[in-house]
Structure 1
């Protein structure tokens, strides 16, 4: 129950900054239009690219803008700063698992951003372009895929944060992680537009589970739903295990900066 409370209070903490969430939602919407017109021009020049229609492409644009917040494409974790300042020593003294604590915190954040930042871009895309909404029976599959994407995104960011115990500075890793998250997830350009062998290689990496896989489920372009879920869950499990092993090692070798 402790982790449920962490999730709830995280949701309340992020919901306190409603004007900030509104500003981010408006920004995401503006970039949804920018990306949407770029993708629309690309699909009009090459109809049926990657099996997507032009409507699929414009829907992909606004959907992925709505997913930026929940999946946290651009952001790191508060844990990184706590390690650098030494405040993580307080976290390690709590009678709770460090990884599960921050996972619950991240789920609370993601839950609020789905509501606070995800609805406006989708509504604007529907008004301007009539973007697609999946039938009722597809919503549970998409929401499950989105949840797995959130957990997968957390597992990647958690590993990067824990490495700060040894590196003491995560700026280089954060920069690499953001580049990978943008280009290898489908955020910049849908992975379906990549050439065959390169697309196959990129789709095998964990970042594709953040954006491309949930988007395909949403659009009904995922021929194997169980395979999609297994891909996301498998990578999340591997990275969560890596994070747990690193956390145990950090307990044995703790360097506190400024504490």
Structure 2
């Protein structure tokens, strides 16, 4: 077994070490899910076919997005940023392991842990109150692929932000800007199908749409056949582009490294 599977395994153990804490976060996500759900119900009652969704689609989308907050890490950053600020990243660069590969393995394990510990409660609670839509076995398999690709896109975006600390020394402004863009363009606040005209087209073409909107539409069965292939290809293309950009920026960062405090 190579190094990276071990990195992923120990990261998974670390992120599942405190299940009660994860459950508390899941309860918070669930509470916000109900607040968002009633707002969407009111909106869709006024506009019953908005964006091609019905009320059940909109409510399912709402609780699904709450379940995906942890896996795609909409709000969070990366520990790598602290290591860059502290200079500990020098140790990471000395390791005989690719920096990007190390943190990708760590992040995928974190995302899987979040999905297992935080993904279920919002969906279960929502299903007890609202008539949610659930896919069949084929839809579940397609959704699993879409979530994996969403986690790759999420990592690609956050990794680029983290590397910004090599030049900015403090990436918090960059991270805040990325979070705002992610909230707006991913569908986290409102499904992108509700965005009108050119704004909707632009929003659905951004990498943030691959985080929430595309997996949710796959879950709801709005993509079938070649449409499903196209949706997954959209995610895969953004994942590949962002990972390639991260690779190039990593090489540039190696020449920029400054260790604070001497």
TM-score, length of structure 2 as denominator length:
0.97
Aligned partner of 1:254 in structure 2 is 257
3-state SS of 1:257 partner: coil
Q: Which residue of 2 aligns with 1:48?
A: 49
2: CA distance, partners of 1:217 / 1:93: 41
Q: 1:229 matched to which residue of 2? A: 232
Provide Cα deviations, 1:222-258, integer angstroms capped at 9, x if missing partner: 2511111111111111111111111111112211234
Instruction: Give the distance between the partners of 1:128 and 1:93, measured in 2 at CA.
Output: 53
- The match for 2:78 is 77
The list of structure 1 runs, each at least 4 consecutive aligned residues, that deviate by more than 6 angstroms after superposition, is none
Asked if structure 2 preserves the Cα contact closer than 8 Å seen for 1:84 and 1:258, the reply is no
Deviates more, 1:131-140 or 1:95-104: 131-140
Aligned length: 259
Aligned to 1:211: 212
Match of 2:154 in 1: 153
- Residue of structure 1 in register with 2:202 after alignment: 201
Superposed CA offset, 1:26-65 (max 9, x none) = 0000001000000111001100100001000000000000
TM-score calculated relative to the size of structure 1: 0.98
Superposition pairs of residues 29-40 of structure 1, within 5 angstroms: 29-40=30-41
Give the 3-state SS of the residue equivalent to 2:75 in structure 1: coil
User: What residue ranges of structure 1 are gaps of 5+ in the alignment?
Assistant: none
CA–CA distance in structure 2, aligned partners of residues 22 and 230 of structure 1: 33
Partner residue of 2:8? 7
Q: Is the 8 A contact 1:83 1:257 kept in 2?
A: no
CA contact (8 A) 1:70 1:114 kept: yes
Give the conservation status (yes or no) of the 8 Å contact 1:32–1:61: yes
* Separation of aligned partners in 1, 2:13 and 2:261: 30
Task: Measure the CA separation in 1 of the matches of 2:11 and 2:127.
Answer: 30
Unmatched 5+ stretches in structure 2: none
Q: CA deviation at 1:196?
A: 1.9
Counterpart of 2:145 in structure 1 is: 144
